[in-house]
């Protein structure tokens, strides 16, 4: 297969795209693949490091409010479509897949105008602007949440899950908590607000630290690289010691190896995070970010709460007291955690990347 993949901006789009590429390579090692991303996104550094051919387009997003800057956005979009058509003509793909981000809008739009089979994938429960626009033109649509189905033309939609889940499940963990000075026979809570950390989660955890020091479970607190020194400074100002059952880290690079060893994870409700925890069957306490488009993290979290796989604390209600109440309840109830673990696994899709590749083949066969 000759495949062009386009995704940009954030890891939530990029990593599912990479997982899809990996799945195709395993099925068809001779496949020719080209990744088309944006000049400003994370993909321009991440993708070439994976040894995947990469080309970049200049593009930017629309402002939701009326702005003269949107005139420049429209100009860049039309130019990106023109440039994408040149790339497509030269590469001659069998199918073009958009995994989200503004750049995928230009690339997929160009491909459908040229009669190339097109597929888009929506990772969230609330459909983004780019995919909503593209849904009118593409041949097939893959979704990771059933809640997204009603927001698309029904005949095109197939539930496939999030490809990132398949990649995480394949990791064979040999991690030992002794590496962190912790014990393997104790329940462990992982607090992780993302690679940059989450200020409100960090603050509530700092305030809860004296109580955590007294608990019979373990706590691994990941602050985010940019927030680590600030967290340590606050703990010192409060003269708060860190107990033997607590470890504080700025970042964990081998998260897929650690997550299977975790009893509960407390963190955000981004699409990639949810794909990982459901695929692995990790019970969760979700604190959706209120700063994302259309409040989609709250919708993501609610889907897990409804299934019995998670508890949710809104950021407005998050403090040390609410955090400890939910955490203590779950960490001290083994049976409840097992029920949540089972519910999470029922939601998780461990072959999502393979399913998306199959959807690509369907788009090709139906187009021809």
**Other C-beta atoms lying within 10 Å of the C-beta of residue 195:** 15
214 carries a ligand binding annotation: no
Q: Could you give the CA distance from residue 100 to residue 53 in angstroms, rounded to a whole number?
A: 19
Going by C-alpha positions, the residue among 300, 308, 239, 315 that lies closest to residue 269 is 300
Place of tokens 């981000």: 101
Q: Is 273 annotated as a binding residue?
A: no
297 is in an annotated binding site: yes
Contact present, 106 and 73 (Cβ < 8 Å): no
Q: What is the dihedral of CA 6, 268, 60, 68, to 10 degrees?
A: 150
Q: What is the DSSP string of 22-69?
A: HHHHHH-TT-EEEEEEESSSTHHHHHHHTT--EEEE---PPPSS--TH
The answer to whether 240 is annotated as binding is no
**d(C-alpha 276, C-alpha 283), whole Å:** 11
The answer to whether 362 is annotated as binding is no
Residue 12 annotated as part of some ligand binding site: yes
124 labeled part of a ligand binding site: yes
Q: Given the structure tokens 């790339």, which residue do they identify?
A: 87
Query: Strands, E, within the chain: which ranges?
Result: 2-6, 32-38, 54-57, 95-98, 118-122, 140-143, 157-159, 188-192, 218-222, 246-249, 264-267, 284-286, 310-312
Q: Which residues are annotated binding-site positions?
A: 10-12, 124, 195, 252, 297
Q: Which residues are annotated binding-site positions for UDP-N-acetyl-alpha-D-glucosamine?
A: 10-12, 124, 195, 252, 297
């Amino acid at each position: 297969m000759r495949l062009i993949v386009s995704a940009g901006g954030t890891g939530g789009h990029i990593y599912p795209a990479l997982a899809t590429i990996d799945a195709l390579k395993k099925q068809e090692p001779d496949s020719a693949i080209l990744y088309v991303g944006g000049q400003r996104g994370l993909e321009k550094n991440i993708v070439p490091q994976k040894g995947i051919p990469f080309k970049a387009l200049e593009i930017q997003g629309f402002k939701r409010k009326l702005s003269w800057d949107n005139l420049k956005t429209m100009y860049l979009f039309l130019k990106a479509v023109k440039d994408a058509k040149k790339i497509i003509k030269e590469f001659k793909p069998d199918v073009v897949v958009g995994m989200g981000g503004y750049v995928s809008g230009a690339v997929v739009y160009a491909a459908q105008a040229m009669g190339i089979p097109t597929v888009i994938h929506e990772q969230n429960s609330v459909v983004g602007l780019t995919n909503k626009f593209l849904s009118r033109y593409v041949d097939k649509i893959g979704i990771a949440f059933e809640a997204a189905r009603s927001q698309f033309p029904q005949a095109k939609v197939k539930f496939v899950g999030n490809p990132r889940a398949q990649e995480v499940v394949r990791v064979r963990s040999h991690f030992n908590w002794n590496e962190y000075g912790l014990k393997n026979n104790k329940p462990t809570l992982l607090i992780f607000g993302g690679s940059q950390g989450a200020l409100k989660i960090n603050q509530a955890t700092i305030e809860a630290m004296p109580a955590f020091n007294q608990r019979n479970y373990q706590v691994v607190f990941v602050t985010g690289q940019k927030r680590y020194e600030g967290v340590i400074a606050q703990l010192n100002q409060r003269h708060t010691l860190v107990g033997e059952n607590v470890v504080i880290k700025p970042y964990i690079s081998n998260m897929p190896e650690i997550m299977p060893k975790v009893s509960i994870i407390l963190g955000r409700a981004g699409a990639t995070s949810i794909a990982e925890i459901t695929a692995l069957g990790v019970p969760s306490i979700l604190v959706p970010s209120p700063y994302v488009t259309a409040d989609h993290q709250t919708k993501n979290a609610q889907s897990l709460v409804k299934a019995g796989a998670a508890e949710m604390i809104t950021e407005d209600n998050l403090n040390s007291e609410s955090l400890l109440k939910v955490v203590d309840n779950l960490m001290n109830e083994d049976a409840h955690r097992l029920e949540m673990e089972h519910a999470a696994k029922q939601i998780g899709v461990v072959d999502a990347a393979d399913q998306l590749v199959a959807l690509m083949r369907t788009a090709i066969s139906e187009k021809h």
